[in-house]
Structure 1
Amino acid sequence: MIRMKSTRIFMFLICPIMVLIFLYYSSGRLHLRSPVKKSQADLDRLLSAGRVVASEYDKQGFLTKLDRKLPLELQYKYGNLSKGECKPGYAEAKMTSIYPKFLKPAPMFLDPNFKRLSKISNYLPPFGVRTQEKIIDHILQATKSYSLGSELDRLSCKKCIIIGNGGILFNKSLGSQIDQYDVVVRLNEAPVAGFEKDVGSKTTMRITYPEGAIQRPERYEKSSLFVLSAFKLMDFKWLRHMVFKEKLRSMEGFWKSVARVVPREPEDIRILNPYFIQEAAFKFIGLPHNNGVMGKGNIPTLGTVAITMALHNCDEVAVAGFGYDMNTPHAPLHYYEKLMMSAIKESWTHNISKEKEFLRKLVKGGVIQDLTNGI
C-alpha cells in the first residue's frame, strides 16, 4: 500500500517534468529546422523571374564562386573533341552555368522584323529603337542583307574573337593566331595595315559609331562588314547618309568630327541589335537604369557590347587587347599610337571598374578566353 502510494506520487511529479522537456525539445527542433531546399530548377526559375538571388549568386545573378572547370555534363559533351576543334554551344553552356538567367536568342543585326523584338521596342537609343522605326526601315530596305553572309551562316560552329585596341596587344605576335578565328571583330578606327604581326590581317566586321568610324576611305578593309552601334538619335540619321551616299551637311549633334563617307555598298552595312547595349548595361554590369535613358556612368564600352553580342551568336568567344592597367601610366594606351596610359581620363558615360568586374567573371568562369591576359 505504501509502495503504490509512493509510485503515484512519483508519476504525479515526473509527468509534468516530461511534458515540459518534450515542449522545450520540440520548440528547439522547430526553431532549428531549416526550410525545404529548393531544386536547382526552382532556383533557376526564380532567378530568371528576378524574385530571388541565393547566397551563392551575386546581385547581378552570377555565381560567386567561379572557376574554369567544366561542369560534369559539359565534360561529357566536349570531352571527346579533338584539341582545337570548335565546341558547339560552348559559350552559351558556360555562360548559363555561371549565370542561370542567360537567354540565348538575340539576333546579331536588325532585320525588317526588328519591331517584333519587344526588349528594344520600349527604349530610346542606345538601349532600343523607339522613335527611330521609320528611319531604320528605310535603311534596311536599302541594305537588304541582315546576317554575317552565306559562307559564315553555313558554319555549324563558329569561333569568334573580339579585338580590343589596348596597348597590351603591341609586340605580342598574335596575328597568325587571330586570323585562325572564323569571325574577327574589330572596333572603331583601330588600324590593321602595318600591325598585322600583332593584330592579324583578317576583319569580318568593324563595329563603330559615327565619332569612332574611320574617316579616311583608303584605310577601310575591302571586304569587311560595316556595323553601326547607335548610341544616340543622330547616329541613325548619319547612317542613312552613308547608306544612300548623301552629303553630310552638318556636324550638329556629334561630340567630335565624324566620317563623311563610308566606302561600303549598302549590302555590306549592318545595324547592331541595341539589345546588347541594354543587356550589358543593366543585366551583366549593373549600371544605373536612369529610366532607360543614357546618363552618367550607364553606357558600356563598345568592346563589352561586342562581347555580349558574341555570347549570343558564337560557339566559342575569345578576346585580345582588352584591359587598361592604370598602375603603369607610361604604358601605351593603344597598340597603334604613342599615347600613354596616363592620358586616359575618367569617363562620364562609362564605369570602367564595374565593367572590368563583369569581364573578369567571364574569364574566371571560362566563358571567354583572354589571349593577352589583360582582364
Structure 2
Amino acid sequence: MAALCFNNEICHRGYYSQTTKMKGKQGWKAIAFFFVVMFCFGMCWFLHMEYYMQRSYPSVHKICIPGDAASKAEILISNYSRDHPVFLQLSDYFWVKNQSIYRLPYGTNGSEELLMKFLALTNRYHVPEEIKRLPCRRCVVVGNGHHLKNSSLGETINKYDVVIRLNNAPVHKYEKDVGSKTTMRLFYPESADFDPQLDNNPDTLLVLVPFKQLDIQWMKIILNNEKRVRKGFWKMPPIIWEVEPENIRILNPYYMAVTATQILKSKKMTPKPTTGMLAITFALHFCDTVHIAGFGYPALTNKKQPIHYYEKVTLKSMAVSGHNITLEAQAIKSLLQQRIISNLTYF
C-alpha cells in the first residue's frame, strides 16, 4: 500500500508538474501574442500617422522645381498660359488688341475708362522685384477655414516665399495658427473689413478682385478721398480705409474666367467662384510649388460648426452667397488627388 501510495504521489506530482508546464507555456504564448498584437497595432498607428503627416504637412524645404506647377496645370487647363499679366496695367487699355470680350468679373469689357482713371492713380502694375527674381516660387494659399484653429501652422506658413491670404481673415492674435507673413491679400470691397496695418505687412500687396464696376469705383473713391457711395453693395464696405496707393493692385480677370470654365467646368460661368478657389487658380499660374491650408467646409448636415477660424458664422451664411461650395470641394479634391497641389491641413 505504501508503494502504491508512493506511486500515486508520484503520479500526482507528475500530473501537476505537466499541468504547470502546460499552463506556463500557454501563459508565455498569451504574453507573446499580446506583444505581437501591440507591435502590429503600434506599427499600423505609426504608418498611419506617417502617411497622415506626409499628406497633411508637406515639407516646405522640399526641393522646388521651376515650372513644376505649370507642367501639372497644363494637363488640367486647356490653353494654359503664363503670358497674361498678373495684374491689370494702364498700357492694356491703349491698344484695341487687348480689349476683353467678357464683362466683370471675367473680363474688363465696358470698364476700360474707369480702369484707366484708377490705374493712373496707383501707377503700380507689376510684381515686386524681390518676388519676380526668385528662381523658384514656393507658395501657400491660406484659406479661412475652421481647420486652421489650433493647428499651430504659423511658423510653417511663414517659411513660404509667397503667402496668399483671402478677404478679411485676421492675422493679429492668430499668428500661432496662421502665421504673420502676408505677401498678397485678395479681397473685394465687402470683404475689406480687415485692419490694413495689423493684419498685413508694410509691403503686402492688396489685390482687388473686382466683381462689378462699383468695386473699382469704391477703390478709386478711397484713394482719392472722394464722396462715398453707399448703395450697390450687398454689405457696406469700409468708408475710411488707410492704405498706400503703391500697395494696391487689380487682379487680372483672366484668372476668374479660367477658374469658372477650366477648374469648375461651369457652363455660362455660373456660379461665381469664391476668392479662395480663384486664389488657387492664380497660384497655379504664378507659382512653382502650390500648397494650401485652411480649405474645406463642414458637412452640409453640420449646421453648428463654424466655417472660419476667427468667427462663429456657420454654413447658413453661404446659402445666399451665390457660390457652389460642393462643386468647389470636388475641384479641390481633384487637384489634391492629381498632386497638382498639396494640403497642409486635412480636407
TM-score, normalization: structure 2?
0.76
**1:129 alignment counterpart:** 108
- Compute the displacement of 1:256 (Å): 1.1
**AA of the residue aligned to 1:207:** L
Query: Contact 2:182–2:201 (CA<8 Å) still a contact in 1?
Result: no
Q: Deviations over 1:191-249 (max 9, x none)?
A: 0011001100001111110101025555442411111000011111111112223341x
Deviates further, 171-180 or 259-268: 259-268
Listed as ranges, the gaps of 5+ residues in structure 2 are 1-59
Query: Contact 1:128–1:274 (CA<8 Å) still a contact in 2?
Result: yes
Query: Contact 2:77–2:263 (CA<8 Å) still a contact in 1?
Result: no
**Equivalent residue of 1:191, what SS?**
coil
Query: Contact 1:287–1:299 (CA<8 Å) still a contact in 2?
Result: no
**AA of the residue aligned to 1:333:** I
Query: Contact 2:108–2:253 (CA<8 Å) still a contact in 1?
Result: yes
**2:75 alignment counterpart:** 97
Q: Percent identity?
A: 39
CA distance 1:83–1:200, shift in 2 (3 Å)? closer
Deviates further, 229-238 or 217-226: 217-226
Is 1:350 the counterpart of 2:329? The answer is no
Task: Give me the whole-angstrom Cα distance separating, in 2, the residues matched to 1:373 and 1:101.
Answer: 31
CA distance 1:217–1:176, shift in 2 (3 Å)? closer
CA distance 1:218–1:309, shift in 2 (3 Å)? closer
**Equivalent residue of 2:281, what SS?**
helix
**1:265 alignment counterpart:** 244
**AA of the residue aligned to 1:229:** V
Task: Give me the whole-angstrom Cα distance separating, in 2, the residues matched to 1:94 and 1:101.
Answer: 13
Task: Give me the whole-angstrom Cα distance separating, in 2, the residues matched to 1:181 and 1:120.
Answer: 35
5 Å matches for 1:22-171? 84-99=62-77, 101-115=79-93, 121-171=100-150
**2:38 alignment counterpart:** none
**AA of the residue aligned to 1:254:** F
Task: Give me the whole-angstrom Cα distance separating, in 1, the residues matched to 2:115 and 2:132.
Answer: 23
Query: Contact 2:170–2:194 (CA<8 Å) still a contact in 1?
Result: no
- The alignment's C-alpha RMSD in Å is 2.2
Task: Give me the whole-angstrom Cα distance separating, in 2, the residues matched to 1:159 and 1:299.
Answer: 27
**AA of the residue aligned to 2:323:** H
5 Å matches for 1:272-311? 272-289=251-268, 297-311=270-284
Task: Give me the whole-angstrom Cα distance separating, in 1, the residues matched to 2:157 and 2:118.
Answer: 32
- Compute the displacement of 1:97 (Å): 3.4
Task: Give me the whole-angstrom Cα distance separating, in 1, the residues matched to 2:304 and 2:257.
Answer: 34
Task: Give me the whole-angstrom Cα distance separating, in 1, the residues matched to 2:143 and 2:339.
Answer: 19
**AA of the residue aligned to 1:237:** Q
Task: Give me the whole-angstrom Cα distance separating, in 2, the residues matched to 1:328 and 1:219.
Answer: 33
CA distance 1:96–1:278, shift in 2 (3 Å)? same
Query: Contact 2:298–2:307 (CA<8 Å) still a contact in 1?
Result: no
Which of 353, 359, 362 is 2:335 aligned to? 362
Q: Deviations over 1:286-340 (max 9, x none)?
A: 22316xxxxxx4200000111111111111111111000224433221101133x
**AA of the residue aligned to 1:272:** L
**2:18 alignment counterpart:** none
Is 1:239 the counterpart of 2:223? The answer is no
CA distance 1:306–1:118, shift in 2 (3 Å)? farther
Task: Give me the whole-angstrom Cα distance separating, in 2, the residues matched to 1:267 and 1:335.
Answer: 30
**2:35 alignment counterpart:** none
**Equivalent residue of 1:336, what SS?**
coil
Task: Give me the whole-angstrom Cα distance separating, in 2, the residues matched to 1:203 and 1:173.
Answer: 17
Listed as ranges, the gaps of 5+ residues in structure 1 are 1-81, 291-296
CA distance 1:107–1:256, shift in 2 (3 Å)? same
TM-score, normalization: structure 1?
0.71
Task: Give me the whole-angstrom Cα distance separating, in 2, the residues matched to 1:113 and 1:101.
Answer: 24
**Equivalent residue of 1:121, what SS?**
coil
Q: Deviations over 1:6-58 (max 9, x none)?
A: xxxxxxxxxxxxxxxxxxxxxxxxxxxxxxxxxxxxxxxxxxxxxxxxxxxxx
**1:5 alignment counterpart:** none
Which of 333, 337, 345 is 2:311 aligned to? 337
Task: Give me the whole-angstrom Cα distance separating, in 2, the residues matched to 1:266 and 1:120.
Answer: 25
**1:213 alignment counterpart:** 192
Task: Give me the whole-angstrom Cα distance separating, in 2, the residues matched to 1:132 and 1:155.
Answer: 33
CA distance 1:97–1:111, shift in 2 (3 Å)? same
Deviates further, 325-334 or 110-119: 110-119
Task: Give me the whole-angstrom Cα distance separating, in 2, the residues matched to 1:281 and 1:170.
Answer: 29
**AA of the residue aligned to 2:84:** A
CA distance 1:86–1:117, shift in 2 (3 Å)? farther
